[in-house]
Amino acid sequence: MPHQVFARVLSNDPIIAGHQVITCEAPTLAAEAQPGHFVNVLTAERYDPLLRKPFSVYTVDRDRGQISLLYSIVGATTASMSRKRPGEMLDMVGPLGGRIFQADTRPDTTHIMVGGGYGVPPLVFLSRELRLAQSAPNIKFIIGARRKDLLLCEAELVAAGVDARVATEDGSHGTSGRVTDVLEPLLLENSGLPVAVYCCGPTPMMKAVAELCLKLGVTCQLSVEVAMPCGIGVCMGCVLDLTDGRRVRCCVDGPVFEAGEVKW
């Protein structure tokens, strides 16, 4: 159930330029959050900016009752978040999201995560949950970035033994090109075998991944990003048009949708 939490900040450290990971003591969120859930953060004390901003849950430590968020510093809320010191409080509402990532349950499925920018953290969470639930899940993780210095989470995935592949647009690391340049050969290699793609990243990237998966007949779940003024399904601000003609709320009817459902 969504609820408000004033969570003590335990650490808040830069990881790459303009990006930080904030870890908080939030036992109720740690207990409830699943991959694809997000929390709504408020930092302003006097109503400017007025609205909370959504952040995907990145890691949870259920034993210690901790969660972390990985954020890119782009505006007022993320700038205030970046100044939080250990011991200060972070005001969050969560866990939010109605429909979240569903691990494909077919036996011997190859789970392919495709993430870009701050779309990577929820997929890191999903990979971890898959590894906790199954003895040796077959996970391939594709991370996209413009340049090597903007890549997120590669080292930790490798350290956890995940097959992580990289595409950089300038070719400074991994495959030169986009995530679809890594995804397409991988899907062709596995054609006829059970494969599930999970994707989160900038909208043009998700659109390209969705189109590729639809073309090759591979199931693909996408965590769609649109501005979510309330995050709890009441303001009707974050609506998305689906191919079946329905106009739904991204926050509670999503944010995860099947590739074929989204009308771009």
Partner 1 sequence: MTNINTAVKIGKLTLRNPIVTGSGTFGFGPEMANIVDLNKLGAVVVKSTSREPRLGNPTPRIVETPSGILNAIGLQNSGVDNFIAEKLPFLRNYDVPIIVNLVGTEVADYVHLAEKLTAAGGVHGLEINISCPNVSHGCDFAVDPALTAELIREVRKVTDLTLITKLSPNVTDMVPIARAAVDAGSDALSLINTLIGTAIDVRKRKFRLANITGGLSGPAVKPIALRCVWQVHRALPNVPLIGMGGIMSATDAIEFLLAGATAIAIGTATFVNPTASTDIAAGLEAYLIENGIADVNELIGAVTQ
The interface partner of residue 214, options being partner 1, ligand FAD, none and the CB cut-off 5 to 8 Å by kind, is: none
User: 35 or 231, CB closer to partner 1?
Assistant: 231
Q: Which one of residues 9, 15, 16, 226 is an interface residue with partner 1 (CB under 8 A)?
A: 226
Site for partner 1 in 42-61 (CB under 8 A): 42, 46-52
C-alpha to C-alpha distances, 87 to 15, 24, 59, 90, 93, nearest whole angstrom? 20, 9, 19, 10, 19
| Smallest separation, CB 46 to partner 1 (Å) | 8
| Smallest separation, CB 189 to ligand FAD (Å) | 30
Site for partner 1 in 81-120 (CB under 8 A): 93
CB within 8 Å of 246: residues ≥ 6 apart: none
Q: Which two tokens stand for residue 227?
A: 């501005």
The Cα–Cα gap between 229 and 148 comes to 33
C-alpha to C-alpha distances, 81 to 41, 75, 101, 170, nearest whole angstrom? 9, 10, 26, 30
The DSSP call for residue 109 is P
| Smallest separation, CB 44 to ligand FAD (Å) | 9
User: 76 or 158, CB closer to ligand FAD?
Assistant: 76
User: 99 or 175, CB closer to ligand FAD?
Assistant: 99
The interface partner of residue 93, options being partner 1, ligand FAD, none and the CB cut-off 5 to 8 Å by kind, is: partner 1
Q: Specify the long-range contacts of residues 60-64, CB closer than 8 Å, at least 24 apart.
A: 60/29, 60/30, 60/33, 60/125, 61/30, 62/30, 62/31, 64/30
Q: Which one of residues 155, 236, 263, 264 is an interface residue with partner 1 (CB under 8 A)?
A: 236
The Cα–Cα gap between 252 and 182 comes to 32
Of 112, 102, 119, 69, the closest CA to residue 224 belongs to: 119
**What are the residues binding ligand FAD (CB under 6 A)?**
38, 49, 53-56, 69-72, 74-78, 118, 121, 225, 228, 255
The interface partner of residue 45, options being partner 1, ligand FAD, none and the CB cut-off 5 to 8 Å by kind, is: none
Q: Is 242 in the site for partner 1 (CB under 8 A)?
A: no
| Smallest separation, CB 24 to partner 1 (Å) | 18
The interface partner of residue 2, options being ligand FAD, partner 1, none and the CB cut-off 5 to 8 Å by kind, is: partner 1
CB 38 within 8 A of CB 57: yes
| Smallest separation, CB 182 to partner 1 (Å) | 31
CB 74 within 8 A of CB 30: no
CB 141 within 8 A of CB 183: no
161 φ, ψ (degrees, to nearest 5):
85, 15
Cβ neighbour number for residue 100 with a 10 Å cutoff = 21
Size of residue set near partner 1 by CB under 8 A: 27
| Smallest separation, CB 206 to partner 1 (Å) | 17
- Binding interface with partner 1 (CB under 8 A): 1-4, 42, 46-52, 93, 226-227, 229-230, 232-239, 247, 252
